[in-house]
Amino acid sequence: MKALTPVALAGAFLLSNLSHAADWPQWRGPAFNGSTDETHLPVAFSKTDGVAWSVDLPGPSASTPAVVGDRIFLSTSHQTNRTMHAMALDRKTGNILWEKKIADGFNRDNRSNFSSPSPVADATRVFFFYGNGPLVAFDHSGKELWARNIAKEYGEFAFQWTFSATPLLFGGKLYVQVLQRDVAVQGRGKATGNESFLLALDPATGKELWRQLRPNDAVSESKEAYTTPMPVTHNGRTEIVIAGGDCLTGHDPATGKELWRWGTWNPTKIGHWRLVPSAVYGAGVILACAPKGDPIFAIKAGGNGTLTDAGIAWKGDKRVVSADVPTPLFYQGDFFVLNEGKKNISRVDPATGEPKWTLALPGLKKYEASPTGADGKIYVMSFAGDVVVIDAQKGTILGQAAMGESGDDFIRSTIVASHGQLLIRTNTKLFCIGKR
């Protein structure tokens, strides 16, 4: 295990409740931007070579593993039983330490299932959220600490597709975001009056600390978001940033109060602009990804009130730089934007939005798993489970590995870099790549 500098230790303490900076406790990693300072990570591997261990999983899931110390936590479906489960594995051996059935139910469409939200964890607890409403906290030994059902308590989710939004654990609060339609869709949700909101809970008890309504003037499906709230600290001010409903908003972490809002990307009120990529901060700007092949917008951080177009630092060229599903990565001072529609990835200057390089990705399948940055490399994975390792500086391919099985599709789990190893999740297996 690598030694930590005082700066790294201080950063880890400030950013999140980590037991070690080599952990990957939340979906976008220890820095909330898809990157980690891990080194000595593998480049060449396969399903049989370079594997420390692998474990069969009971069903597919788009969720990403969380790693704290010697524990790996997984949300998963059970394909045969059509149920949702929570799991803990021994990081060193892959042995399953415990598995809990959380709820009945599987999905609302054939592209994803209710286990798509990723677990989040701190030094003693882990939190699992599911797209049909259950939210459950366990200690690391598998003892249930508390449980709630967000859909039952606040109303059935009004989404056209299977809802997913990973919680955020930050600053002593557990944040859960629901950005949904105001009217029922396909019989889901109340006929009228469904509210979009940001919920803050006490991680120790599950008790509601506050619920901040988050209205918007989007229409139809454009009100729906599958994004995760993200913490941003800029010029000494920390806020929680939410993307969805045709706008980007920043909120006071203590109260949920809205500090600022920007939303000029959909002036004609297109109705099918549901949002999937979460916001990501870097170098003084916050990226907002307009959906359906439209541009990336960089919004100047630190704003107040309702921002006009003067708040836009730059707008990307949608012919190259766009992201409809993957959340961009901030790493080595630049953004890395995975354009799943055009099957390319670009390294983007945060000051101008200009690509420093753009790389066409191999294979026939789309790439929707968000990219990971570590050890000077970028790791991406396709629907089929084909992993590509990219040199972050040069934009060249260093290695490729077919990790999926024949017929695999819709693999979306982000690759995790932690404790000198990679965790790669396919529809049927979890691989730990690297030294034992």
CA distance 416 to 428: 17
436 or 55: which carries more pLDDT confidence? 55
Q: In terms of C-beta density within 10 A (0-12 exposed, 13-18 middle, 19 or more buried), how is residue 382 classed?
A: buried
Please give the model's pTM, rounded to 2 decimal places.
Answer: 0.94
Q: Which fold has domain 6-433?
A: Methanol Dehydrogenase; Chain A (2.140.10)
Instruction: Identify the pLDDT of residue 11.
Output: 41
Instruction: Identify the pLDDT of residue 435.
Output: 86
Q: What is the mean pLDDT of residues 267-296?
A: 96
Q: Which residues pair with 280 in a beta bridge?
A: 287
Q: Is the pLDDT of residue 15 over 60?
A: no
Instruction: Identify the pLDDT of residue 4.
Output: 40
Which contacts (CB < 8 Å, 24+ apart) does range 80-83 have?
82/106
Confidence of residue 436 (pLDDT cuts 50, 70, 90): confident
Residue 250: what residue type?
Answer: G
Give φ, ψ of 260 to 5 degrees.
Answer: -160, 165
344 or 20: which carries more pLDDT confidence? 344
Give me the percent of the chain exceeding a pLDDT of 70: 95
Please give the DSSP secondary-structure letter assigned to residue 349.
Answer: -
Instruction: Identify the pLDDT of residue 110.
Output: 84
CA distance 173 to 163: 22
Q: What is the mean pLDDT of residues 391-397?
A: 98
Confidence of residue 42 (pLDDT cuts 50, 70, 90): very high
| Per-residue model confidence as pLDDT tens digits over 60-118 | 999 999 999 999 999 999 999 999 999 999 999 999 999 999 999 999 988 899 999 99
DSSP conformation letters of 248-294? EEEE-TTT--EEEEE--S-TT--TT--B-SPPEEETTEEEEE-STT-
CA distance 82 to 167: 23
350 or 2: which carries more pLDDT confidence? 350
Residue 93: both structure tokens together: 């051996």
CA distance 373 to 395: 13
Residue 237: both structure tokens together: 């001010």
CA distance 320 to 288: 16
Secondary structure of the chain: what % helix, strand, coil (to 5)? 5, 40, 55
Q: Is the pLDDT of residue 12 over 70?
A: no
Nearest to 392 by CA among 339, 425, 348: 348
Give me the percent of the chain exceeding a pLDDT of 90: 92
Confidence of residue 204 (pLDDT cuts 50, 70, 90): very high
CA distance 379 to 383: 14
| Per-residue model confidence as pLDDT tens digits over 248-269 | 999 999 999 999 999 999 999 9
Instruction: Identify the pLDDT of residue 382.
Output: 98
Given a contact cutoff of 8 angstroms between Cβ atoms, the answer to whether 286 and 248 are in contact is: yes
Instruction: Identify the pLDDT of residue 103.
Output: 97
